[in-house]
Each structure stands twice: as C-alpha cells, then as structure tokens.
Structure 1
Amino acid sequence: MSSSEGYILNAVQTPGPLLPVYRSIREGADTRDDIEADTGVKAGLDAALDGLRLLRMVGREDDEYYAEDYKWDVGTETWSFKLTALHNLAQECDPGNWGKQASVLLNYRYLLEKDIQYFENNEQGLYSDIDDWYSEIGYEPSSRQGKITHNHNKFANWTRLVHFLGLVHKVRGREHTVYPDPKLVRTSLKLAVDDRGIDVDGTPGIEIGQYLRWLRHNLLSVETTSKGDIPEGLARVLLELVRDGDIKLVEYGDAGATGLGGVPPYEGIDSEANTITLA
C-alpha cells in the first residue's frame, strides 16, 4: 500500500463529473484542456481526473489521458461505468494485502455486517468504530503525514460516492439507508451466472455460496453473518427480486443452505435454499 498515492475519500467530493469526464476521455479527449472544452467541467475537473485514476478507470502517460475499457458492457453506459468502478474497488479488498482504496467497500461491508440499515453522513461514533475495525482487520491506509482516519469530510465524501454507485440511498438531509440498488444486484446475478453458473433442471442458476464468492472477487466485499446468513441489506433486495419474478431461491444439489437475514418465509424461497435461479 503506497503512502504517496492519493486517497479516494479525499479526492472525490462530488461524483457527478466522473462519468462525463470518463466518457470524454474514452471518446478521444486526451488533454486537460480538451476534456474541459468537451465536458464543460471546470472547477471539479482535477478532482474528477484524480478520482478516475484512483478508481483505475483512466491512466496518464506523457501528459495525455487514456481510458481503460469497461469490465462489462451491460447495455447501459451508466451501469457499465458503475459496475466497472465497483469491480476495480473490489480488487483493492484482498485481506492481508489491502489496497489503499479498499475503504470504499470496507465501509459498506461494515454496515452490512453490523446490520446498520440507517446512518447519517456525519455520524462520528459510526466512523470512529469503522476506524477501530480497520485496525482489527489490518487495513491501515496512510499518507506521508501518517495514518489516515475518517473525519466528517471523508465520511461525507464516502457517502456521496457510494450513493452514486448505487449502494446507499438518501432519505432526507444527512440520513441514508443501506441496501444495494436492485438493478445492481439483478445485473450482478446475470454476470455471475454467465461466469460461474450451473444448470438447475434446465434453468440457469448459481449456488448462493458461489455467488457470494463471485461478489467478493468482482463487486462487493460481502461476508455472511455469524449465523451464516446473507446480510439483511442484501437479503431484502433478493426478496424484492423474488417478488418481481426475476429470481427464485431453491434447494438444489448437496450444498448447505444459506439463510436470508431478516427475510420472512415467502413463496419462491425454499426453506433450505442454497441456489439462486434466474427467471
């Protein structure tokens, strides 16, 4: 982990310009002046460029910018961008070899694991607890000035970034709820099935444990609870997808069952479900 590399919770204060700046570079603008002229972004341009570099979505060589390809093209520019950003952040989350930008997904993992469904983006007690947890898991981001910890600005920047990426949702003022966008989860299931899926009596599917491993490697740092359940924030989105007819949770094969934290019995969810099938 480099102490000289920038820190994304400092760099990205307003995520809105990230996509238009990335698009501009992807379409051929390769100097700062060209990007500014193409996008009209002025005051926040340097921050957007820094943020995109820390997200591993653009690079710079000989004062010229270039765009990295999307990890997946899922049919819409917005979600191709967000999923690629999440994928790149997931590569920072290697236990024992944490990348400096792992904080984005580790903060989210903490909220899911602790079943924190609501928070305020200036909640000092919460981000202090997260800093303590960082020490427990061996993640210690630093700069040339020393160890990096949260403050009001960093935590507010984090909240805006994960809101932009579809992981939390603003209720009012500083209050946010914690659950991933159903479109994100639905798309991730299709990608995971394409990559690691199985045939479930003629229907495409994936074992729940395999899906969670795929998520950790590709998009989100999600662990099961101490009871072996899917955290409630994700489990309730899976329930929503069942209600919408997009998926079923079934018992298939010999894999052990995985519970859905906080989710009551529901048609389309087997009591010993261990596999997700796509409609």
Structure 2
Amino acid sequence: MSTSEGYVLNTLQTPEPIKPLYDAIDRGVTARDELEAELGFDEERLSDGLNGLRQYRMIGKEDYEFHTVEYAFDTGDDDRDFRLTILHNLARECTGPDWGKQSVVLLIYKYMLEHDVQYFENNDTGLYDRIDDWYRSELSYDPQSSQGSITLNDPKFVNWSRQANFLGLVYKTTGREHAVRPTPELIEASVRLAADGDDYLGIREYFEWLQTNLLPVTLQEGTVPAPLARLLFELVRDGTIRLVERGDAGAVGLDDVPRRSGIDTEANTIEVLS
C-alpha cells in the first residue's frame, strides 16, 4: 500500500464536482488550466475533484494531460454508470491482504451492512472508532501516510458520509443522521448486471458477483444482511424480481423480511421478471 498516494477521505470533501470534471475531460478538455476555465472551479475545488477522480481510478494523467477511464458497465443511464464504475474500481482493490488504500470507502460500508447499522450520525465517534478497530484487527487493513497510520476522525467520517451519499449507498435523513440503505436503482442494476441476460440467478452467486464487482458484503451464516434483504423485498413487491426455490442449492435466509407472495419459503434464486 502506497504511503505517498492521497487518501480519498482526506482529499474529497464534496463529491459533486467530480462528474462535471469527468465529463469535461471526456469531451477533450484535458489540461488543468483549460478545465479551470471551462468549469469555473477555484483552485481548491479543481484540485480536490481531480485528486478524487484519480483515487477513484476514473482518470489518469500523461504528459500533463488527463484522460478518462471507460465505464465498467452500460446500463443505459450515464449518471448511474459513472457511480457503478467508481464502486467497481474500489471493489477491485478491496481485497486482502493487499488492500488498496482507498478500500476504506467500501470497508466502512461493509461493516455497517454486516453489523446491521441502520442509522448513524456522521460525528459518531464510538461508531467510527469501532469500525477503525475492526478493519485493522480483523482485516489487517491499515492505511498509511508518510506520518504513519491514518485513523478515522470527524472530518474523515463526514467526508465518507458525503461520498457514500453520492454513490447511492446511504442517504441523509435529518441533520447529521444518515440511513444505511443503498438505492433501489443500484440494487436492481446490480441484479441485472449479475444475471447477464439470464432469467435466474442464484442468490449465493449474486453475492459472489457483488463482492467482486461492487460491494464487499457477504452472506452472514447463509443469510442476506438486513439492509440488502429489505431492498430485495422491495424489488419483489414492485414486480421486478421473485425470490424462488430452484434446483437443489440450500435455502438462503432473508434477515428482517416478512413473507409475502413472490418469496418462496426455501428461496435460493432470484428470478428476474422485467
């Protein structure tokens, strides 16, 4: 893990500029001074946005000119594909023991999903201290700068909440409070991408795909973590999928989800309906 590379929770305080920056570079505005003139960003906003895009692996630089990295997915929605590609880039580096430095973005989320943190305030010292201790002690993820180990604090956790909101992983409720809930659009898109045109997708196979491509979350003792189980429930309710028993694979549990039509008692497979 590089000590010289920036740390995205320090770099990117406000993620909103990164999409206009990416689009401008993709249009051929590739020099720093041209980007500043094109977008009207001040130096700090421009630097934060460019560094954030580089740490998200969305742009590169060669001979003083920036270039974009192609989207990993094509779902027909440019904004969604931009966010999905950021998650994909982060997920590719979010594997131990050789953790990428920016793995922190997804590891914080992994902790919240797998420990059923439904709501949090972005200045909750106790929570981010537990997360910091968890990924060091259990996963051996220990981000470093030239000054030593990088630990979570209020500013970093605030920046994480803004980035997670932008990426569709959480949403702000009131004040500092946020709900840990990915957007239904993100989960529906991930199901369709994982199914790759097939009508049926094993739930275990879906989570293997998620872990490799978007979110490093795993089944907990054969059970879907509650926040994701609730989203699958909503997709069933809306007529997008069914959760069915198919083949001889064992059933997968759905944490905190009531039974209803469209969810088999021994469900182990996602049926994509529309």
Q: TM-score range by the shorter chain?
A: over 0.9
Q: How does 1:105-124 map to 2 (within 5 A)?
A: 105-124=106-125
What TM-score, normalized to structure 1? 0.95
Q: 1:277 aligns with which of 255, 264, 271?
A: 271
1:93 positional shift: 1.0
1:156 positional shift: 0.3
Q: How does 1:1-279 map to 2 (within 5 A)?
A: 1-42=1-42, 43-135=44-136, 136-194=138-196, 198=198, 204-225=199-220, 227-279=221-273
Amino acid in the other structure paired with 1:77: D
1:165 positional shift: 0.3
Q: Structure 1 stretches (4+) deviating beyond 4 angstroms? A: none
The whole-number CA distance in structure 2 between the counterparts of 1:82 and 1:40 is: 23
Amino acid in the other structure paired with 1:158: W
1:158 positional shift: 0.3
Q: Which residue of 2 aligns with 1:201?
A: none
Amino acid in the other structure paired with 1:181: T
The whole-number CA distance in structure 2 between the counterparts of 1:219 and 1:172 is: 27
The whole-number CA distance in structure 2 between the counterparts of 1:175 and 1:36 is: 34
The whole-number CA distance in structure 1 between the counterparts of 2:262 and 2:21 is: 43
Aligned residues: 271
Q: What secondary structure is seen at the aligned counterpart in 2 of 1:122?
A: coil
1:97 positional shift: 1.4
Q: What secondary structure is seen at the aligned counterpart in 1 of 2:195?
A: helix
1:265 positional shift: 0.8
Unpaired segments of 5 or more residues in structure 2? none
The whole-number CA distance in structure 1 between the counterparts of 2:82 and 2:72 is: 9
Over aligned residues, Cα RMSD in angstroms? 0.9
1:33 positional shift: 1.3
Q: What secondary structure is seen at the aligned counterpart in 1 of 2:271?
A: strand
What TM-score, normalized to structure 2? 0.97
> How high is the sequence identity, in percent, across the aligned residues?
54
Unpaired segments of 5 or more residues in structure 1? 199-203
Q: What secondary structure is seen at the aligned counterpart in 2 of 1:91?
A: helix
Amino acid in the other structure paired with 1:256: G
1:35 positional shift: 1.2
C-alpha distance after superposition, 1:228-250 (max 9, x if no partner): 21110111010000000000000
